[in-house]
Structure 1
Amino acid sequence: MSAGGAFGGNRGARPVPPEKGVFPLDHMHQCDLEKKDYIGCLKSSGHQSENCRIFSKKYLECRMAKNLMAKQDLSELGFRNERDLENLREENNGRIENGS
């Protein structure tokens, strides 16, 4: 018989939560409007999440403002400011025009 717990787990070890991906549920429905806007956008765009980034950003900003998730720079979550996006577009257009 194994010295570990059920399914090979160690009964004495303390669980460690993941760094990202798990955060408190919105039991008080503080960000329902933002969530509904995002889900509505997904449905109307054929579930193309790229088309709904602004709603996703607003939802995450609401969650951070209401302490439903840790506050962090949105650039760490895949959002860039408009100036960065414009520079990226210009770089990509230059590569396409130059054949790179």
Structure 2
Amino acid sequence: MSANPGNRLQKWNPTPPDRGAFPLDHYGDCKEHMQKYLKCMKLVRNENAPNCRLLAKEYLACRMEHELMDRVEWKDLGLPEDDKNTKK
């Protein structure tokens, strides 16, 4: 059954994902970073710990490098900028 009056066909217009939605890591390129971050979050009982934030930054950097998400400035993600000496 169709909820479409008169069974008229309508064009389907897909929309891009909302910010924060990104492709799955099917090949496990960033799996190690993700597991370290999740282990850290479990240890600190999901508190906002600085060491976990650094692991989150590594994970997001990996996702950006493997084009699993768009490149975003660290300040827009609420994370500290890289040191100028260690920047690639």
TM category, shorter: 0.7 to 0.9
Deviation at 1:80, TM superposition (A): 2.6
Higher-RCO chain (CA-CA 8 Å, sequence separation at least 6): 2
Q: Does 1:25 align with 2:24?
A: yes
Deviation at 1:28, TM superposition (A): 0.4
SS in 2 for 1:25: coil
Q: Does 1:39 align with 2:38?
A: yes
Matched length: 77
TM-score normalised according to structure 2 size: 0.73
Deviation at 1:32, TM superposition (A): 0.8
How has the CA–CA distance of structure 1 residues 39 and 12 changed in structure 2, closer, same or farther, with 3 Å as cutoff?
A: same
Instruction: Give the number of the structure whose alpha-carbon radius of gyration is greater.
Output: 1
Deviation at 1:29, TM superposition (A): 0.3
User: For structure 1, which runs of at least 5 residues remain unmatched after alignment?
Assistant: 6-10, 84-100
- Give 4+ residue runs of structure 1 displaced > 2 Å after superposition: 80-83
Separation in structure 1 between the aligned mates of residue 13 and residue 73 of structure 2, nearest angstrom: 30
Separation in structure 1 between the aligned mates of residue 45 and residue 57 of structure 2, nearest angstrom: 19
Separation in structure 1 between the aligned mates of residue 73 and residue 43 of structure 2, nearest angstrom: 29
User: For structure 2, which runs of at least 5 residues remain unmatched after alignment?
Assistant: 84-88
RMSD (CA atoms)? 2.5
Task: Deviation per CA, 1:39-69: give whole Å up to 9, x if none.
Answer: 0001100111x21111111100000011111
